[in-house]
Amino acid sequence: MILLTSTGRHLERALDEGLSREGQSVRSPFTSSSLELLVAAIGCRAIVYTAANTMLAGHLTPRPSATRVRQVLLAAAVPGVELVVGIVPAGDAYVDEEKLLKAGDVPAVVLRCAPLVEELEGEAAWKGPPGSARVTTGEMLSTTVLRALEDTSWRGNTIEVPTLRLDPSWRAPRVIRRSSVTGLHGLPAIACLAGEPSDEAAGDPRTPSGKARSGIDTTPQLLCVRELFFI
């Protein structure tokens, strides 16, 4: 049993569907109560913690919380819990949360995650200098979480979820079809909009030192939501 702490619609759906599809039993407490989270952890072998309701919001308005992490670590002390997977927005804004997760008594893997393409619907998007902005997909995230749950060599490390670079010309209004963001099978369609997959998408996203790769733009600019249309 895997305990999910996310209450964000896109994150929760991506993780729930992705893990369930691979035969993992999933439990979502939908609560921030320390006691209820602790009770929900009973019978679970791992906790998947998300530091923000959406990775997009976590980039635009970072709100790291040591208290929130300590609640997760308290739940991780329940007998049977063997691993904590922490999903934090890419960049350094949540580095204190990362340190706390790794300092816990239970092994932890930290995943740095760019905004999900699915999160751009109805939200203000972000864009760095031309060619530097990156996004990921719900399926790319869930696939990375699955590996984090099974690959013991990742424990104690910070890993980057694979990303796609946005095309430098992506400034004029354009349409993104829902079918192009439903999962890995839609990546060719996404790539037409986003350009080539980043280097991280091609191989092991972990550097030899175990640190997250550099190169993700951490000073995003707001892009008017009217420039994004979903059909």
**What is this structure's pTM?**
0.72
Encode pLDDT of 160-199 as tens digits: 999 987 655 544 334 343 333 333 333 333 333 333 333 4
In angstroms, rounded to a whole number, what is the distance separating the alpha carbons of residues 57 and 126? 10
Q: What is the CATH number of the domain that holds 220?
A: 3.40.50.720
Split into its structural domains, the chain has a count of 1
Q: What is the pLDDT of residue 164?
A: 85
Encode pLDDT of 19-44 as tens digits: 999 999 999 876 667 788 889 999 99
In angstroms, rounded to a whole number, what is the distance separating the alpha carbons of residues 72 and 95? 16
Q: What is the pLDDT of residue 192?
A: 32
Q: What is the pLDDT of residue 167?
A: 58
How do beta strands 134-135 and 164-165 pair?
Answer: antiparallel
Encode pLDDT of 54-104 as tens digits: 999 998 899 999 999 999 999 999 999 999 999 999 999 999 999 999 999
In angstroms, rounded to a whole number, what is the distance separating the alpha carbons of residues 131 and 214? 15
Q: What is the mean pLDDT of residues 134-156?
A: 94
Strand-pair partners of 125: 223
**Domain enclosing residue 196, as ranges:** 2-230
